[in-house]
């Protein structure tokens, strides 16, 4: 099915590509891609290897690549995270445009169910 959208939003195939039945395979792919990246395999080569192993579409590969990260990257992010109580009562500036894009991506693709960062 060709994509004729003129706006951002879900792709017509997303419901099928990211359905609940697909999540176990996508989670395994995220885990394996993260394992390879932790061992410093190239991003492109590792994604091709994992994507081919699980016969992922381009959209699924993109989602898996965005949900995966090396252990080193995960630890660095966790170390930089700020707890909500640390900024309670403080002014906070949020990049609303990027926040909207992130929320849309999570809703469209169930990235929160895949992401190593979220768990």
What is the chain's pLDDT, residue by residue, as a tens digit (119 residues)?
566 656 666 778 888 998 889 999 999 999 999 999 999 999 999 999 999 999 999 999 999 998 999 999 999 989 998 888 998 999 888 888 878 877 777 676 555 556 665 54
How far is the first Cα of the chain from the last one, in angstroms, to the nearest whole number? 34
At residue 114, the pLDDT reads 62
Q: What CA–CA distance (Å, rounded) separates 23 from 65? A: 14
At residue 39, the pLDDT reads 97
* Joined tokens for residue 99: 């926040």
At residue 7, the pLDDT reads 63
Q: What CA–CA distance (Å, rounded) separates 85 from 20? A: 34
């Amino acid at each position: 099915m060709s994509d004729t959208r003129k706006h951002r939003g879900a792709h017509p195939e997303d419901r099928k590509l990211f359905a609940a039945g697909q999540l176990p395979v996508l989670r395994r792919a995220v885990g394996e891609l993260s394992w390879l990246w932790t061992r410093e395999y190239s991003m492109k080569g590792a994604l091709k290897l994992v994507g081919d192993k699980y016969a992922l579409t381009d959209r699924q590969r993109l989602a898996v690549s965005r949900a995966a990260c090396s252990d080193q990257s995960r630890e660095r992010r966790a170390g930089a995270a700020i707890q909500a109580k640390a900024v309670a009562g403080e002014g906070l500036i949020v990049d609303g445009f990027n926040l909207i894009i992130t929320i849309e991506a999570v809703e469209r693709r169930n990235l929160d169910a895949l992401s190593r960062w979220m768990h």
